[in-house]
Amino acid sequence: MNGNIVDTNVIIKMLNGDSEAIQIFDSLDHIHISVITAGELFYGANKSSQREENLELFKDFLREYPMIGIDEKTSQIYGELKAGLVKTGMNIPENDLWIAATAFQHDLTVVSFDSHFKNLKL
Protein backbone atom coordinates (compact mmCIF):
# COMPACT_ATOMS: atom_id res chain seq x y z
CA MET A 1 0.00 0.00 0.00
CA ASN A 2 1.28 3.47 -0.78
CA GLY A 3 -0.21 6.81 0.10
CA ASN A 4 -0.62 9.01 3.12
CA ILE A 5 -1.87 8.70 6.66
CA VAL A 6 -3.13 12.04 7.93
CA ASP A 7 -2.57 13.10 11.53
CA THR A 8 -5.29 14.61 13.67
CA ASN A 9 -3.80 18.11 13.68
CA VAL A 10 -4.00 18.39 9.88
CA ILE A 11 -7.60 17.13 9.84
CA ILE A 12 -8.74 19.53 12.58
CA LYS A 13 -7.12 22.52 10.91
CA MET A 14 -8.54 21.53 7.52
CA LEU A 15 -12.05 21.13 8.92
CA ASN A 16 -11.69 24.52 10.62
CA GLY A 17 -10.86 26.16 7.30
CA ASP A 18 -7.10 26.66 7.72
CA SER A 19 -5.83 27.46 4.21
CA GLU A 20 -2.44 25.73 4.66
CA ALA A 21 -4.09 22.53 5.90
CA ILE A 22 -6.67 22.63 3.10
CA GLN A 23 -3.92 23.05 0.51
CA ILE A 24 -1.93 20.16 2.00
CA PHE A 25 -5.00 17.94 2.16
CA ASP A 26 -6.06 18.78 -1.40
CA SER A 27 -2.58 17.90 -2.71
CA LEU A 28 -2.66 14.36 -1.30
CA ASP A 29 -3.51 11.16 -3.13
CA HIS A 30 -4.52 7.93 -1.43
CA ILE A 31 -5.49 9.32 1.97
CA HIS A 32 -5.87 6.93 4.90
CA ILE A 33 -6.89 7.52 8.50
CA SER A 34 -5.61 5.59 11.51
CA VAL A 35 -8.09 4.27 14.07
CA ILE A 36 -5.92 6.15 16.56
CA THR A 37 -6.63 9.43 14.74
CA ALA A 38 -10.33 8.59 14.68
CA GLY A 39 -10.19 8.05 18.44
CA GLU A 40 -8.50 11.43 18.92
CA LEU A 41 -11.20 13.10 16.82
CA PHE A 42 -14.00 11.49 18.83
CA TYR A 43 -12.26 12.40 22.09
CA GLY A 44 -12.08 16.03 20.98
CA ALA A 45 -15.72 16.03 19.93
CA ASN A 46 -16.87 14.52 23.23
CA LYS A 47 -15.07 17.12 25.31
CA SER A 48 -16.11 20.10 23.17
CA SER A 49 -18.93 22.52 23.85
CA GLN A 50 -20.37 21.60 20.42
CA ARG A 51 -20.35 17.86 21.05
CA GLU A 52 -23.17 16.73 18.74
CA GLU A 53 -22.13 19.01 15.87
CA ASN A 54 -18.51 17.84 16.06
CA LEU A 55 -19.46 14.17 16.34
CA GLU A 56 -21.48 14.45 13.13
CA LEU A 57 -18.72 16.43 11.40
CA PHE A 58 -16.11 13.80 12.27
CA LYS A 59 -18.37 10.86 11.39
CA ASP A 60 -19.09 12.41 7.99
CA PHE A 61 -15.40 13.08 7.41
CA LEU A 62 -14.31 9.56 8.40
CA ARG A 63 -16.82 7.96 6.01
CA GLU A 64 -14.88 9.47 3.11
CA TYR A 65 -11.54 7.72 3.74
CA PRO A 66 -10.32 4.20 4.42
CA MET A 67 -9.53 3.62 8.07
CA ILE A 68 -6.57 1.45 9.01
CA GLY A 69 -6.60 -0.58 12.22
CA ILE A 70 -3.80 -1.97 14.31
CA ASP A 71 -2.81 -5.60 14.62
CA GLU A 72 0.05 -7.74 15.89
CA LYS A 73 2.44 -6.49 13.18
CA THR A 74 1.62 -2.87 14.11
CA SER A 75 2.35 -3.75 17.73
CA GLN A 76 5.74 -5.22 16.83
CA ILE A 77 6.68 -2.08 14.89
CA TYR A 78 5.44 0.10 17.76
CA GLY A 79 7.68 -1.82 20.17
CA GLU A 80 10.69 -1.40 17.90
CA LEU A 81 10.06 2.33 17.49
CA LYS A 82 9.54 2.89 21.22
CA ALA A 83 12.69 0.93 22.14
CA GLY A 84 14.70 3.01 19.68
CA LEU A 85 13.34 6.23 21.16
CA VAL A 86 14.11 5.15 24.72
CA LYS A 87 17.71 4.37 23.71
CA THR A 88 18.15 7.85 22.30
CA GLY A 89 16.31 9.60 25.12
CA MET A 90 13.61 10.91 22.81
CA ASN A 91 9.97 10.92 23.72
CA ILE A 92 6.94 11.49 21.54
CA PRO A 93 3.26 11.07 22.37
CA GLU A 94 2.06 7.45 22.50
CA ASN A 95 -0.73 7.97 19.98
CA ASP A 96 1.76 9.39 17.50
CA LEU A 97 3.91 6.27 17.92
CA TRP A 98 0.92 4.11 17.02
CA ILE A 99 0.20 6.28 13.98
CA ALA A 100 3.86 6.04 12.93
CA ALA A 101 3.86 2.26 13.41
CA THR A 102 0.78 2.00 11.21
CA ALA A 103 2.46 4.16 8.57
CA PHE A 104 5.63 2.02 8.57
CA GLN A 105 3.59 -1.18 8.36
CA HIS A 106 1.61 -0.02 5.35
CA ASP A 107 4.32 2.02 3.62
CA LEU A 108 2.44 5.29 4.13
CA THR A 109 3.75 8.81 4.58
CA VAL A 110 2.64 10.55 7.78
CA VAL A 111 1.19 13.98 7.04
CA SER A 112 1.35 16.07 10.19
CA PHE A 113 2.27 19.46 11.53
CA ASP A 114 4.28 17.65 14.25
CA SER A 115 7.97 17.53 13.34
CA HIS A 116 8.76 14.59 15.64
CA PHE A 117 7.51 12.12 13.02
CA LYS A 118 10.62 12.92 10.96
CA ASN A 119 12.84 11.53 13.76
CA LEU A 120 11.35 8.04 13.63
CA LYS A 121 13.26 5.26 11.93
CA LEU A 122 13.06 1.49 11.97
* Residues belonging to the chain: 122
- Reduced to 3 states (helix: H, G, I; strand: E, B; else coil), residue 16 is coil
122 has pLDDT over 70: no
Between CA 43 and CA 56 the distance in angstroms is 13
Instruction: Catalogue all structural domains in the chain, each as residue range(s) with its CATH number.
Output: 3-109 (3.40.50.1010)
Between CA 104 and CA 122 the distance in angstroms is 8
Q: In the structure, what pLDDT confidence band is assigned to residue 78 with cuts at 50, 70 and 90? A: very high
- Residue 31 burial (10 A CB sphere; 0-12, 13-18, 19+): middle
Residue-wise pLDDT tens digits, 28-59? 999 999 999 999 999 999 999 999 999 999 99
**Residue 65 or 117, more confident:** 65
Residues 13-40: what's their mean pLDDT? 96
Residues 66-74: what's their mean pLDDT? 97
